[in-house]
């Protein structure tokens, strides 16, 4: 490629980056309209798709062509059908369904991100629910909470396999997922390792949705719900406490408080696992950086933080960091493993 062609290619790529939201919105609309669910029953022509979904003929062809070009649809002599990727991740009731996350991205995050320039200047969150405890406010409405939790399940559904492999779980008999929503990660862990007794610590309002979801997954009785506020109520005692996509929602001082409380809740020889899209002081990761912007837009005190920051908070609480690794997840999460020393010479937690 000569210099002129290279400059042209760079210019085109940059211009297309400026309109990348178009691709996301095509996907959002397809999920919201139920297109992939319609095609799960079989191939359909454009006219039938328009009729079933109430689409206007002026836009429908370009819309379907865009989904074809994105690799989400396939076309044959009879019309349109789902691609293998769409069938696996975009059809309701599919094991890997991501529609919950896509709906929240469309209906909640997309509008908030339109205020990024303003937020970069004033530092303030832009979400409607971004007070001192946005989750308490969000969970007041059961239907809204169910939709938001479907988003969380879709995102953290990639986490479970990484957590299974990051620790020698044979050393431990119990764990509690602190801020574990309706128990998706906990259910993955007890399913993969039946010897574990699982728990979820969450705001009490979520207990009916937790019970509903455990019944859906077939893990009723294998994961226990503990209701409470992790800044107010004692954390449940367990061999391992997990903080997943929790610390980044709060200020550095509050993160330290949670790890201090975790140190009191686990026994000597116990452990804490923390995972978030932590930042790397070396080569920046795009997905972690974008996750950092998202959490800052959505919460009053939240932000992403570095792996070294997390090591520091864990050490100050009294833990000894024993491991950590990147997980292949939506936000390229990093999981940090820290253990409570067993000897009398263990470092004592330093209170802030």
- pLDDT tens digits for 69-113? 999 999 988 899 999 999 999 999 888 899 999 999 999 899 999
Cα 127–129–131 angle (5° rounding)? Answer: 105
pLDDT at residue 344 tops 70:
no
- Same structural domain, 63 and 201: no
- Same structural domain, 85 and 194: no
Which residue, of 68, 89, 110, is where some domain finishes?
A: 89
Flag the least confident range among 81-90, 118-127, 136-145, 213-222: 136-145
- Same structural domain, 141 and 57: no
1 or 342: which leads in pLDDT: 342
Which residue, of 89, 109, 130, is where some domain finishes?
A: 89
| Averaged pLDDT for residues 269-279 | 96
Residue 109 lies in a domain: no
Specify the pTM.
Answer: 0.87
Number of domains comprising the chain: 2
- Same structural domain, 138 and 235: yes
CATH number, domain with residue 140 = 3.40.50.150
What residues contact residue 93 under an 8 Å CB cut-off, 6+ apart?
none
- Same structural domain, 335 and 205: yes
332 or 256: which leads in pLDDT: 256
- Same structural domain, 77 and 127: no
Q: Over the stretch 216-270, which tens digit does the pLDDT of each residue have? A: 999 999 999 999 999 999 999 999 999 999 999 999 999 999 999 999 999 999 9
| pLDDT above 70 coverage of the chain, percent | 95
Q: What is the pLDDT of residue 350?
A: 41
CATH number, domain with residue 30 = 1.10.10.10
141 or 173: which leads in pLDDT: 173
- Same structural domain, 51 and 142: no
Residue 108 lies in a domain: no
**What residue numbers bound the domain in which 249 lies?**
119-339
Q: Over the stretch 280-331, which tens digit does the pLDDT of each residue have? A: 877 788 989 999 999 999 998 899 999 999 999 999 999 999 999 999 888 8
- Same structural domain, 270 and 197: yes
For residues 236 and 226, the answer to whether their CB atoms sit within 8 Å is yes
Q: What is the pLDDT of residue 351?
A: 40
Residue 106 lies in a domain: no
Q: Where would I find the H helices in the chain?
A: 3-17, 21-33, 35-39, 46-53, 57-69, 84-89, 99-104, 110-113, 116-122, 134-138, 142-156, 160-166, 184-192, 207-217, 252-265, 286-298, 307-317
CA pair distance 77, 79, nearest whole angstrom: 6
3-state secondary structure of 342: coil
Residue 103 lies in a domain: no
Which run of H or of E encompasses 227? Answer: strand 223-227
Residue 107 lies in a domain: no
- Same structural domain, 84 and 133: no
Q: What is the dihedral of CA 18, 19, 21, 25, to 10 degrees?
A: 180
- Same structural domain, 139 and 65: no
pLDDT at residue 117 tops 50:
yes
Residue 105 lies in a domain: no
- Same structural domain, 313 and 207: yes
**What is the distance of C-alpha 162 from the center of its chain?**
14
- Same structural domain, 132 and 60: no
Q: What is the DSSP letter of 107?
A: I
Residue 101 lies in a domain: no
Which residue, of 70, 89, 108, is where some domain finishes?
A: 89
Strand-pair partners of 321: 338
What residues contact residue 111 under an 8 Å CB cut-off, 6+ apart?
none
Residue 15 lies in a domain: yes
């Amino acid at each position: 490629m000569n210099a002129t062609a290279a400059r042209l290619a760079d210019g085109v790529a940059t211009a297309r980056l400026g309109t990348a939201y178009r691709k996301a919105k095509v996907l959002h609309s397809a999920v919201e309209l139920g297109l992939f669910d319609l095609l799960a029953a079989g191939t359909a022509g454009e006219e039938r798709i328009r009729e079933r979904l109430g689409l206007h003929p002026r836009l429908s062809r370009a819309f379907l062509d865009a989904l074809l070009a994105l690799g989400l649809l396939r076309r044959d002599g009879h019309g349109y059908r789902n691609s293998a990727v769409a069938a696996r991740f975009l059809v309701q009731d599919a094991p890997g369904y991501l529609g919950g996350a896509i709906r929240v991205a469309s209906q909640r995050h997309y509008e908030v991100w339109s205020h990024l320039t303003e937020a970069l200047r004033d530092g303030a969150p832009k979400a409607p629910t971004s007070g001192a405890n946005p989750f308490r406010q969000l969970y007041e409405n059961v239907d809204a909470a169910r939709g938001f939790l479907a988003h969380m399940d879709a995102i953290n559904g990639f986490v479970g396999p990484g957590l299974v492999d990051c620790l020698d779980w044979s050393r431990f008999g119990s764990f509690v997922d602190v801020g574990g929503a309706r128990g998706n990660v906990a259910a993955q862990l007890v399913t993969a390792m039946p010897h574990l007794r699982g728990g979820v610590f969450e705001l009490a309002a979520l207990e009916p949705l937790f019970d509903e979801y455990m019944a859906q997954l077939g893990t009723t009785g294998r994961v226990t719900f503990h209701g409470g506020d992790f800044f107010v109520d004692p954390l449940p005692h367990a061999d391992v406490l997990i903080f997943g996509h929790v610390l980044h929602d709060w200020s550095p001082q509050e993160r330290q408080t949670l790890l201090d409380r975790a140190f009191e809740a686990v026994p000597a020889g116990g452990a804490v696992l923390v995972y978030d899209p932590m930042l790397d002081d070396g080569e920046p990761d795009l997905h972690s950086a974008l996750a950092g912007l998202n959490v800052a837009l959505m919460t009053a005190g939240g932000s992403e933080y570095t792996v070294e920051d997390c090591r520091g908070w864990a050490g100050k609480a009294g833990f000894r960091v024993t491991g950590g690794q990147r997980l292949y997840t939506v936000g390229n999460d990093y999981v940090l493993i820290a253990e409570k020393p067993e000897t009398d010479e263990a470092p004592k937690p330093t209170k802030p």
